[in-house]
């Protein structure tokens, strides 16, 4: 039997883009695309039909309405309908183009050819049903923060070079692969969603990454503790703020005094509880970057 998906269309004010994206992600949507229509935005999101009933979708529409009212912006128009999996697989792809991110990355969909004239690091992706294409502000902020953190990895005094990085909630694997392209010596990616694990493994192969350099498994901190042979140099985590708050106390088991972390998926009004939790568990906020309604924490051990 062909699997079916809900395609959810949200027509909203441009200023609501980040709020709508956050709401759709929290609802469990597996992929989004957006298209500017004059002074408005059409955002499409996709969710397996078995994961939501009509009453759930009605509740989502109500939440989006309340979000707009709280922001004193026009109420979005929300529609949904069922599509076959084949239609889902091709629907969102036509809105995604190669994109330069930061000073060094070129993130390109797998179905585009390899560019002939570019001195950027090419990161090819087919995210499937996992989060992380490089189009969202949180992913861009994390990639730019990785550029700052990793820099030039090799030196005569450190012939092996590079950092040992873990990516918690790895999604498509974009941040792990980005870290490896920047010179990290090894990355571990974990995600509780088996579809994300599958996407990360697929993108590891697409980018010709050595399987011994990018280890991907289903799970979270407990799985990392069983995989790691030594504490890590860096932690990357681009997921929902409430999940990050639950994870911060557990990082002690995989960190060392010099470990740094890059955290995003956090709305600006969620920044204070994140900062408070970091401080309570021995982390210092070195920098806080903002883009649109989102922020990215660059932190280190105190």
* Residue pLDDT, tens place only, 59-99: 899 999 999 998 899 999 999 988 886 665 566 566 678 88
- For every residue of 62-120, DSSP letters joined together read HHHHHHHHHTT-PPPEEEEEEEEHHHHHHHGGGG---EEETTTEEEEETTSPPPSS--S
Asked if residue 271 is part of any domain, the answer here is yes
Residues whose CB is less than 8 angstroms from the CB of residue 268 and which lie 6 or more positions away in sequence, other chains included:
290, 293, 294, 295
CA atoms within 13 Å, Cβ hemisphere of 34 = 18
Most confident range (mean pLDDT) of 12-21, 143-152, 213-222 is: 213-222
pLDDT above 90: residue 249: yes
Q: Considering the domain boundaries, does residue 291 fall inside one? A: yes
**Tell me, what's the pLDDT at 131?**
67
183 with 86, same domain: the answer is no
Residue 119 resides in a domain? no
Mark whether 86 and 140 lie in a shared domain.
no
Neighbours of 269 (CB within 10 A): 10
181 shares a domain with 88: no
Higher pLDDT, 57 or 134: 57
Q: Is the whole model's pTM more than 0.85, yes or no? A: no
Q: Are 181 and 289 found together in one domain?
A: yes
Q: Which of 75, 94, 113 is where one domain is finished?
A: 94
The secondary structure element, H or E, covering residue 13 is: strand 4-13
- Domain CATH for 72: 3.30.70.260
> Per the domain annotation, does 139 fall within a domain?
yes
Same domain, 153 and 236: yes
**141 and 234, same domain (yes or no):** yes
Q: Do 273 and 172 lie in a common domain?
A: yes
> Are 149 and 267 contained in the same domain?
yes
**Are 54 and 201 found together in one domain?**
no
Q: What 3-state DSSP class applies to 250?
A: helix
Instruction: Assess whether 89 and 232 both reside in one domain.
Output: no
Residue 183's region, left for phi above 0, alpha for psi from -120 to 50, else beta, is: left
Q: The domain that contains 284 carries what CATH number?
A: 3.40.50.150
Last residue of a domain, one of 78, 94, 110: 94
Do 23 and 169 have their domain in common?
no
More confident residue, 30 or 10: 10
Per residue in 195-240, pLDDT tens?
889 989 999 999 999 999 999 999 999 999 999 999 999 999 998 8
- Provide the domain count of the chain: 2
Quote the domain boundaries for residue 201: 126-301
Give domain status of residue 14, yes or no.
Answer: yes
Q: Is residue 77 part of a domain?
A: yes
Cα 124 to the center of its chain, rounded Å = 15
For residue 159, the model assigns a pLDDT of 40
Domain endpoint, select from 48, 75, 94: 94
Does residue 56 sit in the same domain as residue 155? no
Query: Could you tell me if residue 61 is inside a domain?
Result: yes
Residue 279 falls within a domain, yes or no? yes
How would you classify the pairing of strands 77-84 and 4-13? antiparallel
């Amino acid at each position: 039997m062909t699997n079916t998906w809900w395609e959810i269309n949200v027509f909203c004010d441009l200023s609501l883009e980040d709020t709508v994206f956050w709401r759709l992600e929290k609802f469990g949507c597996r992929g989004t695309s957006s298209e500017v229509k004059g002074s408005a935005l059409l955002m499409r999101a996709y969710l397996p039909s078995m994961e939501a009933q009509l009453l759930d979708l009605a509740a989502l529409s109500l939440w989006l309405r309340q979000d707009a009212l709280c922001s004193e912006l026009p109420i979005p128009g929300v529609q949904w309908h069922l599509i076959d999996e084949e239609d889902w697989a091709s629907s969102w792809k036509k809105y995604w183009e190669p994109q330069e991110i930061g000073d060094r990355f070129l993130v390109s969909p797998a179905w585009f050819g390899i560019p002939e004239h570019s001195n950027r690091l090419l990161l090819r992706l087919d995210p499937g049903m996992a989060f992380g294409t490089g189009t969202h502000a949180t992913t861009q902020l994390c990639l730019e923060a990785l550029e700052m953190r990793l820099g030039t990895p090799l030196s005569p005094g450190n012939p092996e070079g590079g950092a040992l990085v873990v990516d918690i909630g790895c999604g498509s694997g974009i941040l792990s692969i980005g870290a490896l392209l920047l010179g990290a010596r090894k990355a571990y990616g974990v995600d509780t969603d088996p579809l994300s694990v599958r996407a990360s493994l697929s993108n590891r192969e697409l980018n010709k990454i050595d399987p011994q350099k990018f280890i991907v498994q289903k799970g979270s901190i407990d799985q990392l503790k069983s995989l790691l042979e030594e504490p890590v140099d860096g932690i990357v985590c681009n997921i929902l703020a409430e999940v990050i708050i639950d994870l911060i106390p557990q990082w002690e088991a995989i960190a060392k005094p010099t470990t740094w972390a890059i955290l995003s998926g956090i709305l600006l009004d969620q920044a204070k509880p994140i900062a408070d939790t970091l401080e309570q568990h021995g982390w210092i906020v070195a920098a806080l970057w903002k883009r649109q309604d989102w922020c990215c924490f660059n932190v280190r051990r105190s």
